[in-house]
């Protein structure tokens, strides 16, 4: 299967400026696709953009993907974040990649192309777990709900896994691994500990640090290498935000 022959035949496709073996196509206004072949011409690295296309940023992504393709294609990680990415005018600091099965770019119309296509997009270091702790389900959820790879203007959504139990609201998580959530969910559950004896919240950041907050008349912070201490809500929320963003 030759990826180049398929992509070059897409309606409206054009060669991407200043990048060899690369293409750009836009099936409808506001939706742009770009892709570049790997050096061995067997794999495709694709960038999607919805209402945020930036040719300079996309060019940087395509070139970085081909330069670092060995890091993207090696191993079995569902999501990969290659450090050191830079593009003028952009705050993104990693080149992110999702393997086939996490993304579903060509799953329906071009299933053979789907199997050799990696989704590449710009990201932030704090958005990806270290070491990789993603199941396929987690990777798919992160890719779609949190990372939003087609938004090339987005701000960071830090990796966050939470486990909690609240004796008053009766809210909580099942199982030992917790769930992936946005930071706002963590902040809300920390606030809801107030007046709920026997309740707790555990949260894990992208570095693999796990912090725990218990309530026994005040908030007690522990874990993650910090000294166990009582904290006020404002200080706790500030600490949590700093821990998530690195």
pLDDT digits (tens, 9 = 90+) for 102-129: 999 999 999 999 999 999 999 999 999 9
Domain of residue 36 covers 3-147
In whole numbers, what is the pLDDT of the chain averaged over residues?
A: 96
pLDDT digits (tens, 9 = 90+) for 161-211: 999 999 999 999 998 889 999 999 999 999 999 999 999 999 999 999 999
- 80 lies in the same domain as 165: no
In a domain, 226, yes or no: yes
Q: Is residue 221 part of a domain?
A: yes
**pTM assigned to the model:** 0.93
DSSP 167-216: TTT--B--SSS-EE--HHHHHHHHHHTTT-TT-EEEEE-TT--EEEEEES
Residue 134 in any domain: the answer is: yes
**Distances 35 to 10, 13, 46 between C-alpha atoms, Å:** 12, 11, 4
CB-side exposure of 1: number of CA atoms within 13 Å?
A: 15
The number of folded domains in the chain is 2
The pLDDT value recorded for residue 137 is 93
Mark which of 114, 147, 180 sits at the end of a domain.
147
Domain boundary among 113, 147, 181: 147
Same-domain status, 233 and 200: yes
What is the spatial distance between Cα 61 and Cα 46, in angstroms, rounded to a whole number? Answer: 9
Residue range 152-162, pLDDT digits in tens: 999 999 999 99
Return the pLDDT at 59: 98
pLDDT of residue 130: 81
State yes or no: pLDDT of 133 exceeds 80: no
What local confidence, expressed as pLDDT, does residue 76 receive? 86
Is 147:94 a contact under the CB 8 Å cutoff? no
């Amino acid at each position: 299967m030759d990826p180049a022959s398929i992509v070059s035949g897409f309606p409206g496709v054009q060669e991407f400026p200043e990048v060899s073996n690369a293409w750009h196509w836009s099936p409808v206004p506001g939706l742009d696709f770009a892709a570049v072949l790997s050096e061995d011409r067997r794999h495709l690295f694709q960038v999607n953009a919805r209402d945020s296309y930036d040719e300079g940023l996309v060019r940087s992504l395509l070139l970085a993907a081909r330069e670092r393709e060995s890091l993207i294609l090696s191993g079995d990680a569902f999501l990969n974040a290659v450090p050191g990415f830079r593009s003028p005018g952009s705050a993104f600091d990693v080149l992110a990649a999702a393997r086939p099965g996490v993304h579903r770019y060509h799953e329906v119309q071009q299933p053979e192309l789907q199997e050799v296509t990696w989704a590449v997009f710009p990201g932030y270091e704090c958005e990806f777990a270290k070491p990789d702790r993603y199941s396929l389900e987690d990777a798919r959820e992160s890719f779609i709900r949190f990372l939003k790879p087609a938004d090339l203007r987005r701000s960071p959504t830090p990796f966050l896994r939470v486990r909690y139990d609240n004796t008053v609201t009766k809210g909580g998580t099942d199982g030992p691994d917790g769930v992936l959530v946005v930071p706002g969910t963590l902040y809300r559950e920390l606030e809801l500990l107030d007046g709920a004896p026997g309740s707790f919240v555990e949260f894990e950041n992208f570095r693999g640090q796990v912090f725990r907050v218990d309530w026994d008349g005040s908030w007690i912070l522990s874990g993650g290498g910090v000294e166990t201490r009582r904290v006020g809500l404002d200080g706790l929320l500030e600490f949590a935000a700093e821990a998530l963003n690195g």
